């Protein structure tokens, strides 16, 4: 069709629109694509790696060793795979090596670099530690009193997040590593620790298995893979990216596509004289629709293809970016071809649809009206506003321009909103996690030190406040800690959501996190199980303690003892505001309140690059969104601008009249974005709770508000500044000619 020669000419004439709408399409889609690619890359890797190396479904320890022949008996009876895992921790110069004996069926290790051990003086060690400490293959390492040669690096599926203890809150790859050596060399260590690894099958009777083990061998500890942070942190990380991509970042392409679609539809409307002329010349509806669909398809097609290309290039580095906390996972970030196609098709279809609907609507009008350019002359709300009132025409013009063209104002508002939303959201994530470090520490209590003892004591000779700590499981195996203490414990902040103190003597109080995760409510009768014996207990929930950090039941010592079967006169935990002199041998685990703050700080440090990326892209989105919106405003005001020029108005005065009227949309857009950011961040953090993450309250620092507002305002005024040229370029004579036509 000869008419299609207009395409290239139109692109040349409207290059700023095509450029900014393409950039907007690319950047918003890109954020979604990259997070989705990164999340799926981690998830795919972990699924393959776990399957390949037969990850455990649980591990446990017993007070009595299970004889080897009984292991296979248990396997047959309960249809599980069971394997003994022997290990020993050896500390050398402040660094702990956890040496494992090889297993055959569960938690196999995989050589990631170099070779497996072939001689008794060779070892393979965890790759994260080797990379962190610049250890090379072939170098020597001392374990205990003996020197070993590093033959290679390895990874183990249940240690992708390298926690020395499952109760630790943050990885340790500076003073802790895993190690394998020959069986003979391992045996030379003599007495070693022992735990049992379990893999379930389709028909496994895991509850019966656990009960049987407890009855015969006395279960000491049992940790399901879902409760094991060394394992579930990987999925949490992957899901964080995927949730971010799907739930939050999907908003951006959606808004951007709506914004561009509205502009396209208005651009088509501005072509009504041309459409009327072509219609009068005999062009049929289908042909005209096809012609205008071509215009609209350009930003969608170009944007979609560019997004796919950039995603392919950036997929790998972006995927690796979120893995700084983990063992070096050799993941492959890959763009899903279906996503690439959808990224091209969806915006293109929506843009084309907007154009088609617009052409269709215009073609329903009288051709003469189209030729006169009056086809969209419907009654505009707000047009008559203040007519006859003794107010400056500038104010009336501004108000009518704003309110009489609601869709145009909406587009400008949407542009500002979109820009501020993405920048504030990025900073909101960062601030919330940072803030969580402080609030979580406060919610946990005012103690500075917590000592979990490896035996039950009856007399507290060390100071601090003694507590009874144990755990129960819900019907699905989700573990809850049980904290038995007194109302007078000065270190715990046990308060309801209104800040009122709670008396623990009155019953079992669940934390608000448990309420959220398990859906238990005050007054509910719930069933819990002893995690070791699986003994069943029914308890009534007496109330909710405001605590979004811990999955816990708070109660009195007596009730805790009744629930867990421990002695009510004994204790196994001490909290204190100062360091206590408890013998090392009695301490199973020591933690500081500041650990959680440090963990949050480490997380925000890791997020720094992500934040910078989101803000950087946010600036581009903001400029592009505001630019396309204000560009439309200037284009649609061309005849007014030229008339004002003819009448003797200067460019600066014209800018004030035409553009300044929309400045009010800047604070409105920013204000609107604030609750939306809170809603989006809350939705994100709530979804992350499903993946075992504590509930993080959305918090935005005043500094972040300021930065976001300044950046959004900056982008807005930069866009206006760029468009001042366009106002200057409006040709008086051409515009008058247009009016003559």
Q: Which two tokens stand for residue 422?
A: 């993405």
Assess 580 for contact with other proteins (CB under 8 A): no
Map residue 520 onto helix, strand or coil.
coil
Q: In 10 A of CB 87, how many CB atoms?
A: 16
Q: Looking at residue 697, what DSSP letter applies?
A: P
- Range in contact with other proteins (rule: CB under 8 A) among 213-221, 497-505, 591-599, 647-655: 647-655
Assess 644 for contact with other proteins (CB under 8 A): yes
Assess 662 for contact with other proteins (CB under 8 A): no
Assess 706 for contact with other proteins (CB under 8 A): no
Assess 570 for contact with other proteins (CB under 8 A): no
* Cβ nearer to other proteins, comparing 215 with 731: 731
Q: Which residues are within 8 A (CB) of 475 and not within 5 positions of it... i.e. 6 or more apart?
A: 527, 529
Q: How far is the CB of 16 from other proteins (least distance, A)?
A: 22
Q: How far is the CB of 720 from other proteins (least distance, A)?
A: 20
- Range in contact with other proteins (rule: CB under 8 A) among 126-134, 157-165, 211-219, 379-387: 379-387
How far are the Cα atoms of 60, 127, 144 from residue 141, in angstroms, in the given order? 31, 14, 10
Contact map string, positions 587 to 626, toward other proteins, x by CB under 8 A: ----------------------------------------
CA atoms of 681 and 671, how far apart (whole Å): 16
Q: How many residues form the binding site for other proteins (CB under 8 A)?
A: 29
Assess 639 for contact with other proteins (CB under 8 A): yes
For other proteins, the binding residue among 6, 287, 365, 396 (CB under 8 A) is 396
CA atoms of 694 and 688, how far apart (whole Å): 8
Assess 10 for contact with other proteins (CB under 8 A): no
For other proteins, the binding residue among 649, 678, 699, 705 (CB under 8 A) is 649
Assess 379 for contact with other proteins (CB under 8 A): no
Contact map string, positions 245 to 284, toward other proteins, x by CB under 8 A: ----------------------------------------
Residue with tokens 């009534």: 540
CA atoms of 173 and 163, how far apart (whole Å): 8
Assess 736 for contact with other proteins (CB under 8 A): yes
Assess 650 for contact with other proteins (CB under 8 A): yes
Parallel/antiparallel/unpaired status of strands 110-114 and 219-224: unpaired
| CB contact burial 131-147 (16+ within 10 A = b; e otherwise) | ebeebeeeeebebeeee
* Cβ nearer to other proteins, comparing 461 with 647: 647
- In 3D space, the residue among 625, 630, 622 whose CA is nearest the CA of residue 710 turns out to be 622
Assess 640 for contact with other proteins (CB under 8 A): yes
Alpha helices in 225-336 (DSSP H): 229-243, 251-269, 272-280, 285-321
* Cβ nearer to other proteins, comparing 216 with 728: 728
Q: In 10 A of CB 488, how many CB atoms?
A: 7
CA-derived radius of gyration, the chain = 33
Tell me how far the alpha carbon of residue 626 is from its chain's centroid.
27
CA atoms of 712 and 665, how far apart (whole Å): 12
Assess 376 for contact with other proteins (CB under 8 A): no
Q: How far is the CB of 732 from other proteins (least distance, A)?
A: 5
Assess 112 for contact with other proteins (CB under 8 A): no
- Range in contact with other proteins (rule: CB under 8 A) among 168-176, 278-286, 400-408, 690-698: 400-408
For other proteins, the binding residue among 142, 284, 285, 383 (CB under 8 A) is 383
Q: How far is the CB of 355 from other proteins (least distance, A)?
A: 25
- Range in contact with other proteins (rule: CB under 8 A) among 275-283, 354-362, 384-392, 673-681: 384-392
Q: How far is the CB of 739 from other proteins (least distance, A)?
A: 5
Assess 724 for contact with other proteins (CB under 8 A): no
Assess 392 for contact with other proteins (CB under 8 A): yes
| CB contact burial 697-710 (16+ within 10 A = b; e otherwise) | ebbbeeebbeebbe
- Range in contact with other proteins (rule: CB under 8 A) among 84-92, 252-260, 334-342, 635-643: 635-643
Contact map string, positions 509 to 548, toward other proteins, x by CB under 8 A: ----------------------------------------
Element (DSSP H or E) covering residue 370 = helix 367-372
* Cβ nearer to other proteins, comparing 373 with 428: 373
Assess 653 for contact with other proteins (CB under 8 A): yes
Q: In 10 A of CB 454, how many CB atoms?
A: 10
Assess 387 for contact with other proteins (CB under 8 A): yes
Q: Which two tokens stand for residue 251?
A: 């908003």
CA atoms of 364 and 93, how far apart (whole Å): 85
Q: What length does the chain have?
A: 741
Q: How far is the CB of 654 from other proteins (least distance, A)?
A: 10
Assess 408 for contact with other proteins (CB under 8 A): no
Assess 660 for contact with other proteins (CB under 8 A): no
* Cβ nearer to other proteins, comparing 371 with 424: 371
CA atoms of 459 and 78, how far apart (whole Å): 42
Q: In 10 A of CB 493, how many CB atoms?
A: 16
Assess 378 for contact with other proteins (CB under 8 A): no
CA atoms of 704 and 710, how far apart (whole Å): 10
Phi, then psi, of 556 in degrees rounded to 5: -75, 165
CA atoms of 544 and 111, how far apart (whole Å): 48
* Cβ nearer to other proteins, comparing 501 with 739: 739
For other proteins, the binding residue among 338, 500, 647, 702 (CB under 8 A) is 647
Planar angle of CA 660, 663, 668, nearest 5 degrees: 160
Q: How far is the CB of 272 from other proteins (least distance, A)?
A: 15
Phi, then psi, of 174 in degrees rounded to 5: -100, -30
Q: How far is the CB of 723 from other proteins (least distance, A)?
A: 19
Map residue 188 onto helix, strand or coil.
coil
How many distinct helices (H) and strands (E) make up the chain? Answer: 22, 19
Parallel/antiparallel/unpaired status of strands 508-511 and 536-545: parallel
For other proteins, the binding residue among 404, 477, 692, 714 (CB under 8 A) is 404
Assess 648 for contact with other proteins (CB under 8 A): yes
Q: How far is the CB of 414 from other proteins (least distance, A)?
A: 22
Q: How far is the CB of 400 from other proteins (least distance, A)?
A: 5
Assess 403 for contact with other proteins (CB under 8 A): no
Q: How far is the CB of 269 from other proteins (least distance, A)?
A: 15
Chain residues in the site for other proteins (CB under 8 A): 377, 383-384, 387-388, 392-394, 396-397, 400-401, 404, 639-640, 643-650, 653, 732-733, 736, 739-740
């Amino acid at each position: 069709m000869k008419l299609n020669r207009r395409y290239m000419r139109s692109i040349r004439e409207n290059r700023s629109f095509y450029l900014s709408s393409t950039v907007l399409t690319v950047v918003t889609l890109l954020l979604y694509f990259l997070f989705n690619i990164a999340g799926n890359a981690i998830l795919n890797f972990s699924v393959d790696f776990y399957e390949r190396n037969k990850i455990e479904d649980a591990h446990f320890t017993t007070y009595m060793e299970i004889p080897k022949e009984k292991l296979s008996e248990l396997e047959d009876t309960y249809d599980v795979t069971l394997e003994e895992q022997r290990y020993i921790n050896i500390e050398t110069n402040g660094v702990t090596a956890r040496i494992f004996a090889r297993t055959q069926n569960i938690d196999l290790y995989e050589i990631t670099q170099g070779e497996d051990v072939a001689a008794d003086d060779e070892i393979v060690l965890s790759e994260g530690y080797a990379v962190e400490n610049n250890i090379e293959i072939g170098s020597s390492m001392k374990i205990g009193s003996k020197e070993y040669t590093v033959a290679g690096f390895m990874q183990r599926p249940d240690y992708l997040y390298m926690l020395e203890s499952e109760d630790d809150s943050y990885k340790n790859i500076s003073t802790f590593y895993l190690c394998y050596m020959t069986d003979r060399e391992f045996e030379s260590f003599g007495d070693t620790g022992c735990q049992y690894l379990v893999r379930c099958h389709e028909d496994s009777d895991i509850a019966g298995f656990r009960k049987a083990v407890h009855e015969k061998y006395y279960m000491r500890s049992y940790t399901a893979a879902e409760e094991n942070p060394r394992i579930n942190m990987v999925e949490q990380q992957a899901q964080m990216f995927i949730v971010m991509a799907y739930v939050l970042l999907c908003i951006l392409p959606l808004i951007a596509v709506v914004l561009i679609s509205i502009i396209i539809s208005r651009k088509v409307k501005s072509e009504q004289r041309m459409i009327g002329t072509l219609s009068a010349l005999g062009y049929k509806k289908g042909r005209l629709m096809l012609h205008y669909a071509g215009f609209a398809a350009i930003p969608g097609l170009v944007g979609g293809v560019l997004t796919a290309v950039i995603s392919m290039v950036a997929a790998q580095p972006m995927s690796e970016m979120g893995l700084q906390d983990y063992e070096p996972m050799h993941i492959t970030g890959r763009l899903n071809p279906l996503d690439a196609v959808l990224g091209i098709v969806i915006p293109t279809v929506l843009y084309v649809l907007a154009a088609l609907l617009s052409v269709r609507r215009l073609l329903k009008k009288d051709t003469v009206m189209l030729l006169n350019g009056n086809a969209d002359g419907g009654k505009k709300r707000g047009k008559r506003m203040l007519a006859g009132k003794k107010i400056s025409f500038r104010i009336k013009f501004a108000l009518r321009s704003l309110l009489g063209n609601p869709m145009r104002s909406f587009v400008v508002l949407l542009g500002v909103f979109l820009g501020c939303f993405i920048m504030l959201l990025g900073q909101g994530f960062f601030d919330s996690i940072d803030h969580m470090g402080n609030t979580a520490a406060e919610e946990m209590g005012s103690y500075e030190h917590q000592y979990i003892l490896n035996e039950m004591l009856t007399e507290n000779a060390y100071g601090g406040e003694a507590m009874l700590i144990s755990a129960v499981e819900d019907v699905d195996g989700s573990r809850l800690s049980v904290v038995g203490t007194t109302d007078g414990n000065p270190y715990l902040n046990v308060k309801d959501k209104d800040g009122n103190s709670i008396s623990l003597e009155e019953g079992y109080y669940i934390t608000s996190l448990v309420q959220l995760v398990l859906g238990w409510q005050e007054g509910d009768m719930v069933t819990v199980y002893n995690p070791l014996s699986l003994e069943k207990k029914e308890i009534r929930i007496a109330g909710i303690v405001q605590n979004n950090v811990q999955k816990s039941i708070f109660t009195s010592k007596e009730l805790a003892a009744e629930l867990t079967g421990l002695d009510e006169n004994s204790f196994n935990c001490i909290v204190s505001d100062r360091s206590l002199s408890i013998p090392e041998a009695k301490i199973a685990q020591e933690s500081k309140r500041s650990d959680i703050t440090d963990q949050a700080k480490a997380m925000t440090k890791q997020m720094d690059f992500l934040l910078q990326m989101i803000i950087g892209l946010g600036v581009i989105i903001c400029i592009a969104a505001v630019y396309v919106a204000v560009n439309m405003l200037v284009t649609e005001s061309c005849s007014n601008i030229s008339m004002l020029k003819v009448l003797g108005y200067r460019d600066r005065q014209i800018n004030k009249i035409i553009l300044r009227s929309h400045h009010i949309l800047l604070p409105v857009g920013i204000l609107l974005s604030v609750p939306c950011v809170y809603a989006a961040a809350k939705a994100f953090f709530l979804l992350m709770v499903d993946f075992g993450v504590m509930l993080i309250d959305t918090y935005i620092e005043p500094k972040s508000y300021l930065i976001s507002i300044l950046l959004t305002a900056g982008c807005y005024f930069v866009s206006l500044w760029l468009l001042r040229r366009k106002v200057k370029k409006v040709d008086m004579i051409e515009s008058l000619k247009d009016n003559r036509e």
